[in-house]
Structure 1
Amino acid sequence: MHHRWLLLLACFWVLFMLMVASKFITLTMKSPEGYGVRQGSQTILPEVEKITVTEGKKLQIESQPSAEPQKSMSHLDLIHKERLELLQTVCRNGSLGNLSHAIISKFVLDRIFVSDKHKILFCQTPKVGNTQWKKVLIVLNGAFSSIEDIPENIVHDHDKNGLPRLSSYSISDVHKRLNSYFKFFIVRDPFERLISAYKDKFVHNPRFEPWYKHNIAPVIIRKYRKDRSETKGGLQFQDFVRYLGDPNHKFLDLQFGDHIIHWITYVELCAPCEINYNVIGHHETLEEDAPYILKKAGIDRLVSYPPIPPGITHYNKTKVEQYFSKVSKRDIRRLYERYEGDFKLFGYKEPTFLF
């Protein structure tokens, strides 16, 4: 009888210890609450919320110390420093023509959008994800409370989106902003950008931009199509390349007006040899460059760059070679001569199919 009670007592003790151990494991494995900050928020935060979130981020970082973020930022700083040094070196290269503007023209100032509240200037380079950057600035300027709230037809409507151009300021105010604001723009492999412009404006063609197909394309076809008997199928890529590579392209450029911004050079758009930009992002590394730009501009805790679909920024060499496979070597070389500055200023390699 005595042994039976001892055995029963031992069983109760084992059960009690298992319950304590289970409770301890549960407490240890439970994630701490209140420190996590929702990533990818695309809405401007009210002042009180902004302070709260900032403190939350500090707690999160301090509770999990790591040298990795600092290392990553240092690496990005070096990359962007090298990009600016390359730009300055090429700008001083007298052997390359068409790199400099005698003056910064109204055409260039029309491409630069302003956020006075946050002292930011953004130069638009179409076909390089610029719509998303314009959305970021629209939200920062207060026209809409979040990126999701901006209707697509408003983004490029500069009477309604609350996004002023630098050309709308007086000369003294222009100089003041150019000398003191954070300035950036984005580039992309020049030939891949031209393919994107061709597909968007002349193949897919948004319904609210019919003039590219119905007004611009027929003019290019009449002047640059080699086989005039071939009239079907709309503008071909070969026709487009011949127009762009023609040394006398400016005659048509004047006729087409501001629509040419989708394919003219970065030099013509943003005057990078005259304006001291703080950061030049690359479309191919936008996943890293977008957060870097937001941080350098001091707005990373106010707004986020919209999510980037997987693979969309990847340079598609096969696609580029396929498009240019039907273009003559002579026409490709003439095209390259026009865009050579864009290739060299921003570190893009000469296309292998040039040779």
Structure 2
Amino acid sequence: MMRRHWLLVGACGWVLLVLVFASKFINFGFRMPDDYGGRPELLNWTFPSIKTVKPLPEQLVQKAASQSSPAVTQLFSIQSSGGLAEVELSDWHSVTVQRLQLLSSICRNSSLWNLTHTPLRKFVLDRIFVCDKYKILFCQTPKVGNTQWKKVLIVLNGKFSKVEDIPENVVHDHERNGLPRLSSMSDAEITERLHTYFKFFIVRDPFERLISAFKDKFVKNPRFEPWYKHNIAPAIIRKYRKSHQDTGESAGLHFEDFVRYLGDEPGRQHLDQQFGNHIIHWLTYTELCAPCDISYDVVGHHETLELDAPYILKAAGIADLVSYPTIPPGITRYNRTKMEHYFSGISKRDIRRLYARYQGDFSLFGYHRPDFLFD
């Protein structure tokens, strides 16, 4: 009887050893729908610890390439439920420096000059929000999580004590949120701030950003902005839909119509004048923030926001004062399946025209041309 007992104990021990050994080679996944309504993607709850080693460039580019990412700067896959694995912020500084070096290099490329430079007119200065107390300028770029950054600045300006306390309807109400725009200041004040304040903005894969803008403004329209569906969409349909049998509001704007409108240079300019500032959701980053004409300190990427957000807070000297709101797992990941789905019915000619419009954004921020859409 005693012998059988010890044999059972021994067998259990071997089973435990086998399980421990196997767990080192097996990741247990959980399927979770992505934030944009595409197919569910596999998110791994286990993620190896990352410790970057300087010098970084070749290692980081290889890491990005191994993940089949369209962005050179999308360096780490967003896979853990609790956020990214630990990375030293001092190491992430090397990544941000590389981004600025690439930006500077492309800005000097004369062949892309018209796509990368813009005058510092009032329209650009309207996009830049000011926090004088901590000497920060933030240029908002729609569809990259800029609402959360505005909440951070609202707290810093003292309007609310915590980002969680800020009502959503206040964030975008520029009469109530306590965020002054750079355009509201004198020329001397603007110049001083542009030269002395910490300046940053966030970018995202240009085509994914367009898909997000299309869904938000013409499909979901969550903020009850009726002009997108009732004024802008019908105007685009009338001019760009090949078949005009169903041009009424009930038919709705198709992504194909949207792409054809965006790629029509210079034919869309008359419509853009008619639409006014509502077009900011699909303007280029050059048109919005003038990255070649303003010397920004950090350019964050939506795809690596889990690392960029804490780095920006630390670089701006405000990490101990405010936190960036929690980022839902997987929400910032690049989604090739979604990209293929939206562009599946669009002609290669229209895709080429669209890319020509946003080529400056792809080049300035290291995003690869999506060749899989052109094949």
Matches within 5 A, 1:285-296: 285-296=304-315
Cα distance per residue 1:225-266 (max 9 Å; x no partner): 001113353000000000100002221111111111100100
Name the CA distance, whole Å, in 1 between partners of 2:353 and 2:157.
42
Mapping for residues 138-287 of structure 1, pairs under 5 Å: 138-231=154-247, 232-248=250-266, 249-287=268-306
Give per-residue Cα distances to partners, 1:39-92, cap 9 Å, x unaligned.
xxxxxxxxxxxxxxxxxxxxxxxxxxx999997223201100000000000000
For 1:108, the equivalent position in structure 2 comes to: 124
* Aligned-partner Cα distance in 2 for 1:197–1:306: 21
Amino acid at match of 1:257: G
CA distance in 1, matches of 2:369, 2:147: 28
Name the CA distance, whole Å, in 2 between partners of 1:291 and 1:92: 30
Matched residue, 1:80: 96
Q: Which runs of 4+ in 1 moved over 4 A?
A: 66-71
Distance 1:100 1:340, change over 3 A: closer
Is 1:354 aligned to 2:370, yes or no?
A: no
Deviation at 1:321, TM superposition (A): 1.0
Aligned-partner residue type, residue 270 of structure 1: C
1:124 alignment partner in structure 2:
140
Percent identity (aligned) = 70
Matched, 1:317 2:336: yes
Superposition CA RMSD, Å:
1.8
Mean Cα deviation higher: 90-99 or 280-289: 90-99
Of residues 92-101 and 315-324 in structure 1, the stretch that sits farther from structure 2 once superposed is: 92-101
Q: Which amino acid aligns with 1:87?
A: L
Q: CA deviation at 1:165?
A: 0.4
Partner amino acid for 2:138? F
d(CA) in 2 for partners of 1:307, 1:223: 42
Which of 1 and 2 has greater Rg? 1
In the TM superposition, what whole-angstrom CA distance separates every residue of 1:123-181 from its partner, at most 9, and x where no partner exists?
A: 00000000000000001001111111111111011000000000000001000000000
- Tell me, in whole angstroms, the C-alpha distance in 2 between the residues paired with 1:75 and 1:226: 51
What is the distance in 2 between the residues matched to 1:126 and 1:177?
Answer: 23
1:81-113 Cα shifts (integer Å, max 9, x gaps):
000000000000011142354530100000000
Counterpart in 2 of 1:50?
Answer: none
The equivalent residue for 1:48 is none
Count of residue pairs the alignment pairs up: 290
TM-score normalised by the chain length of structure 1: 0.79
Distance 1:138 1:99 in 2: 32
Secondary structure of the structure 1 residue equivalent to 2:200: strand
Contact 1:91 1:99 in 2 (8 A): no
TM-score normalised according to structure 2 size: 0.75
Bigger helix share: 1
How far, CA to CA, are the matches of 1:293 and 1:170 in structure 2? 27
In structure 2, distance between residues paired with 1:162 and 1:119: 15
Instruction: Report if the CA contact (8 A) 2:218-2:253 is conserved.
Output: yes
CA distance 1:315–1:92, change in 2 (3 Å):
same
Q: Where does structure 1 lack aligned partners over 5 or more consecutive residues?
A: 1-65
**Match status 1:333 vs 2:352:** yes
